[in-house]
Amino acid sequence: MYYIGIDVGGTNVKAGLITENGEIMKRAVRPTLAKRESDAIAADMIALVKEVAEGIDAANIHSVGIGIPGACDDKTGMVVNTANINFHMYPLGEKIQAATGFSVYLGNDANCAALGEYYALPEKVQDMIFITLGTGVGGGLILNGKLYTGFNGIAGEVGHIMLKDGGEKCGCGRRGCWEAYASVSALIRQTRDYALAHPDSALRAACGENMEAVSGKTAFVLARKGDADGKAVVDTWISYVAGGIVDMVNIFQPALLLIGGAISKEGEMLLNPIRSFVAQNSYSPDVAKTKIDVAALGNDAGLIGAAFLGRK
């Protein structure tokens, strides 16, 4: 049996034909051109489905799953809204189903990534929390072996839990959300602020004259070289990341918590301080402890997980 996944991003719409084992047998991609009419974007998705399904007996294709960077209601097949793409209360599931004949499932992109990582685990667990650190902080909750999406389909917005009441402004309108401190965007802001406050530092030089060179890696690169300023920025940011992870552990006590997003490539330099912070700060009597690790699939997690949305 094959599964078709579609991963909708701000730049590209990617499609893949996925095996039971999560291998990507065939790929296709089209530019999103996010400002277009919803119907034009949907038409490209239909073409992508046909492209990856070509030559495969339709009876061997289980379903199509679509990962959306926004809120969607899987029960009705409706994309409720997205921040950057022209989908608002748009019946995407129905459209794709009507045009392709396949069952169609919708999911939030972070939820899809969680599902992709979950199916890729070498050892299954019942409860796994996935967080992804990028422009924001996204999350996916696998509870009792299933993706948990709440009664309206949009659960798991873990980036929008409070870290510092009244603190930094968050995109959601609140002040002080975890995302406003622990996203890579926040790390970049923290790097820039630190550099400006330390004009003679190596960190300031690494940011470029007009701050054009600053990225989520800037402070990590210096910290690896033993630079105290780089380390200060990294340590502070990691304490924010770990602070929210403590919340996740205290709430869910999952067997496994996975950290995704490009920054997770920092590996042990990210993981070690998080693990010791969580060990020190989580509510933890003498019981088994959550394992904390980085995600395995990288960019393909969302595509593979989307494909598996319909998998029981």
Cβ contact 263:185 at 8 Å: no
Give the residue among 240, 186, 169 at the shortest CA–CA distance from 194.
186
Give the residue among 158, 168, 213 at the shortest CA–CA distance from 188.
213
Does 276 help bind its own copies (rule: CB under 8 A)? Answer: no
Does 250 help bind its own copies (rule: CB under 8 A)? Answer: yes
Count the Cβ atoms, other than its own, within 10 Å of residue 124. Answer: 11
CA distance 222 to 206: 8
Residue 54 neighbours by CB under 8 Å, 6+ apart: none
Strands 104-108 and 88-90: unpaired
From 5-13, 40-48, 152-160, 267-275, span contacting its own copies (CB under 8 A): 152-160
Q: Which is nearer to its own copies, 177 or 184 (CB)?
A: 177
**Among 77, 116, 243, 305, which residue sits at the site for its own copies (rule: CB under 8 A)?**
243
Q: How far is the CB of 8 from its own copies (least distance, A)?
A: 16
H or E element at residue 205: helix 202-206
**Among 157, 229, 266, 300, which residue sits at the site for its own copies (rule: CB under 8 A)?**
157
Count the Cβ atoms, other than its own, within 10 Å of residue 60. Answer: 9
Report phi then psi at 175, rounded to 5. Answer: -110, 130
**Among 172, 196, 197, 269, which residue sits at the site for its own copies (rule: CB under 8 A)?**
172
Does 73 help bind its own copies (rule: CB under 8 A)? Answer: yes
Cβ contact 48:6 at 8 Å: yes
Q: In what order do the strands lie in the sheet with 2-8?
A: 24-31, 12-19, 2-8, 61-68, 104-108
Does 258 help bind its own copies (rule: CB under 8 A)? Answer: no
**Among 33, 120, 121, 155, which residue sits at the site for its own copies (rule: CB under 8 A)?**
155
Does 251 help bind its own copies (rule: CB under 8 A)? Answer: yes
**Among 124, 146, 169, 265, which residue sits at the site for its own copies (rule: CB under 8 A)?**
146
Q: Which is nearer to its own copies, 226 or 285 (CB)?
A: 285
**Among 27, 30, 50, 164, which residue sits at the site for its own copies (rule: CB under 8 A)?**
164
Cβ contact 257:128 at 8 Å: yes
How is residue 77 annotated by DSSP? T
For 26, the token pair is: 């065939």
Does 294 help bind its own copies (rule: CB under 8 A)? Answer: no
**Among 158, 187, 219, 304, which residue sits at the site for its own copies (rule: CB under 8 A)?**
158
Cβ contact 152:232 at 8 Å: no
**Among 97, 185, 236, 281, which residue sits at the site for its own copies (rule: CB under 8 A)?**
281
Does 199 help bind its own copies (rule: CB under 8 A)? Answer: no
**Among 18, 80, 219, 234, which residue sits at the site for its own copies (rule: CB under 8 A)?**
80
Q: Which is nearer to its own copies, 153 or 230 (CB)?
A: 153
Which residue ranges make up the site for its own copies (CB under 8 A)? 70-71, 73, 80-81, 89, 125-127, 141, 143-144, 146, 148-158, 160-167, 172-174, 240, 243-244, 246-247, 250-255, 281-283, 285-290
